[in-house]
Chains A and B, each alone.
Chain A
């Protein structure tokens, strides 16, 4: 009862909850949230339980719980799935990809945001306006032309030079990383946070003889570290979530990261659902660990981003 009388003001006031009708309304809301929680939880639990079933058990019994949840069986299942899925190579590729995501996705949008915020020389404002517009432009129109840009990179004249040099960035991670470097949301996020830093800091550093890059790396970036951290964590999860761009850009199956491999395993008749679900679990582990370890910083960064982002 105490909890009801201390309830902060809201849709239900503590005075409402004194009456029977009010409390019934409250518990109905509580039941609703519980149902939503079950809706979010059951698929995840089902994934774990089915992954721990042996293939024979999965096909024969429709029980929700696996028969044998002993440590021995769990280890058996993990090692069996590990061998069948053969994800070792793609995990290493994903780590390489992640490192590039984080480097390109923080340094370049950071520098761009810094310049847009603190060095508004002629023309910079125009770039900012274009970036804001780009942010909401439907990306569907770029699907194919962007691919054509990868084919001719770094030239913009397409067919002729392409046929002479025969050089392009397809089948490498560069297009994926370049797209992090020009993530407009992150550029704006950095800019907004640099805007909050007083210009006098910039001027003082200039008088001390720092050049722009030094100011950025030694003074500005450390100040917005929570935001950089938040952006970095987002980039790490992208590396574990994006199957599409690697699938489109890479031709060598050896280069595929985990998400793309998991997507392609769908068409592999040798992979049974329980093993595939185990693979999904493997892919959930790194993002989940990142979340658990950095939870406070993520939420802090979300707040920092929510201020003006």
Chain B
């Protein structure tokens, strides 16, 4: 009876486990293994050790692209990370039109990702048809290149990403702010705490686990950014917005350098694994404290 049950359970679980093995577990491991092989098309042929890695790392574009990716992360920590927290706290404090603001600010979260990216592609248009250049025209300024400006293009992409992403995170923070009991604020007020003390000593400590969790999650996600540079700039101008993720895509599917795609993917993976392990450590702590 028991054996029969075990068999039935595994029979039911088999499709999912098989697909997980084929599409996630095996590719994750083999990605690392095959990165040590010479690739003919998408077929590994012979073991060549670290040759793929040497090619990737000795490419003069490697370090600039790594630095670009770090810049993506830094800008997103600077802009995309604090904004939803501040907005969530602010909306929670409102007594006028609170639901109106909460619902309207949620709007970008409903738009499909690709439409948001393309919408901002047009907003940033270097011609006079773009929204930002229309605004500049009001002040009599010449059209500006926006995404063609290699100094700031990463910032502009992060602004787009923030616009698309902050409403959902905002909602996430908002629900957890609402779970902070009002008694805590009242007790703090009786003890003489003002606005900033209540924020710093009552609200932030309660929110800290979720905030840190989200921060690490965001770093991991932005470090793998690929679609935004692909849609908005194609990595340009002059590779100024090229990210590791998009470079992996180009190596693997456009330039036919599959071996290098595998090894660059592995390099990125190894960098991120540190952040991932850190994430697991905090997550465990957080779930224990909940």
* A:142-197 near B, CB below 8 Å: 142-149, 151, 153-154, 156, 158-159, 175, 178-179, 181-182, 184, 187
Q: Residues of A contacting B20 with CB < 8 Å?
A: 130-131, 134, 182
Q: Residues of A contacting B266 with CB < 8 Å?
A: 141
Q: Please determine whether A138 and B198 come into contact, CB atoms closer than 8 angstroms.
A: no
Assembled-state Cα–Cα distance A63/B87 (Å) = 31
Assembled-state Cα–Cα distance A13/B107 (Å) = 30
Q: Residues of B contacting A10 with CB < 8 Å?
A: 92-93, 182, 185
Q: Please determine whether B107 and A30 come into contact, CB atoms closer than 8 angstroms.
A: no
* B:119-177 near A, CB below 8 Å: 119-123, 125, 128-129, 131, 133-134, 137-138, 163, 167, 171-172, 175
* B:243-290 near A, CB below 8 Å: 244-245, 248-249, 252-253, 258, 261-262, 265-266, 268-269, 272-273, 276, 279-280
Assembled-state Cα–Cα distance A273/B120 (Å) = 12
B contact patch SS:
helix
Closest beta carbon of chain B to A19's beta carbon, Å: 11
Q: Residues of A contacting B5 with CB < 8 Å?
A: 119, 121
Q: Residues of B contacting A237 with CB < 8 Å?
A: 110, 112
Q: Please determine whether B118 and A140 come into contact, CB atoms closer than 8 angstroms.
A: no
Q: Please determine whether B111 and A284 come into contact, CB atoms closer than 8 angstroms.
A: yes
Closest beta carbon of chain B to A134's beta carbon, Å: 6
Q: Please determine whether A212 and B13 come into contact, CB atoms closer than 8 angstroms.
A: no
Assembled-state Cα–Cα distance A153/B42 (Å) = 14
Q: Please determine whether A144 and B92 come into contact, CB atoms closer than 8 angstroms.
A: no
Q: Please determine whether A262 and B115 come into contact, CB atoms closer than 8 angstroms.
A: yes
A103 CB within 8 Å of chain B: no
Assembled-state Cα–Cα distance A262/B118 (Å) = 8
Q: Please determine whether B9 and A124 come into contact, CB atoms closer than 8 angstroms.
A: yes
Residue from B22, B92, B96, B118 in contact with A154 in the complex, judged by beta carbons closer than 8 Å: B22
Q: Please determine whether B118 and A276 come into contact, CB atoms closer than 8 angstroms.
A: yes
Interface string of B225-259 (1 = CB under 8 A from A): 01100110000000000001100110011000010
B19 CB within 8 Å of chain A: yes
Nearest to B230 among chain A residues (CB) is A244
B220 CB within 8 Å of chain A: yes
9 further interface pairs, Cβ-Cβ under 8 Å (given A26-B93, A112-B13): A10-B93, A37-B101, A43-B123, A46-B131, A115-B12, A138-B223, A138-B273, A140-B265, A273-B125
A-B contact pairs, 16 of them (CB 8 A): A11-B195, A33-B91, A40-B104, A62-B128, A115-B12, A123-B10, A141-B269, A181-B19, A212-B8, A237-B112, A243-B231, A244-B230, A277-B122, A284-B112, A288-B110, A306-B175
**Interfacial residues, chain A to chain B (CB-CB below 8 A):** 3-4, 6-13, 15-16, 25-26, 29-30, 32-34, 36-37, 39-44, 46-47, 50, 58-59, 62, 64, 108-109, 111-112, 115, 119, 121-124, 127, 130-131, 134, 136-149, 151, 153-154, 156, 158-159, 175, 178-179, 181-182, 184, 187, 211-213, 237, 240-244, 248, 259, 262-263, 266, 273, 276-277, 280, 283-284, 287-288, 291, 302-303, 306
